[in-house]
Amino acid sequence: MRALPDDTFETVITVAAQKFYADGAGVEKPTPLSDQIDIGLFDQRPGIGSFKAEDVISMERLPVISGTQTIRVITTRKPAFAGIDPYNKYIDRNSDDNVVAITE
């Protein structure tokens, strides 16, 4: 995250995304991911403590594909946390890693 000259903030999020389908026996097979997924920036970590609607700085559905990619979001407020699918709408074996603290 960095401050821009016009009093906005650019947050760069690196995402490593994958998609799998499981058959009736639970065997997973990778499949290409190309979806619009919620990307959020927050004052507080979602789901922890006194998180409120006003703690959401930005929430946008942005294109996400398989593999590692960089997503840039510009906001008027400085975020403390960033996340992909922060409200766990997608099935995810490890949803705890969807939201992280932002470093400068």
What is the tally of structural domains in the chain?
Answer: 1
pTM of the model: 0.88
Report the distance separating Cα 63 and Cα 61, nearest Å. 7
Q: Which two tokens stand for residue 40?
A: 């959020």
Percent of the chain residues topping a pLDDT of 70: 100
What is the widest separation between alpha-carbon atoms in the chain? 55
Please write the tens of the pLDDT for every residue from 40-85.
999 999 888 778 899 999 999 999 999 999 999 999 999 999 999 9
Q: What's the pLDDT at 56?
A: 96
Mean pLDDT of 15-27: 93
Query: Which DSSP symbol is given to 87?
Result: T
Q: In which band, very low, low, confident or very high, does the pLDDT at 36 lie, cut at 50, 70 and 90?
A: very high
53-61 contacts: CB < 8 A, separation 24 or more?
61/36, 61/37
Of 85, 80, 74, 79, nearest to 15 (Cα)?
85
Structural domain of residue 42, as residue ranges?
A: 2-101
Cα-atom radius of gyration of the chain, to the nearest Å? 15
Query: Which DSSP symbol is given to 14?
Result: E
Query: Which DSSP symbol is given to 31?
Result: -
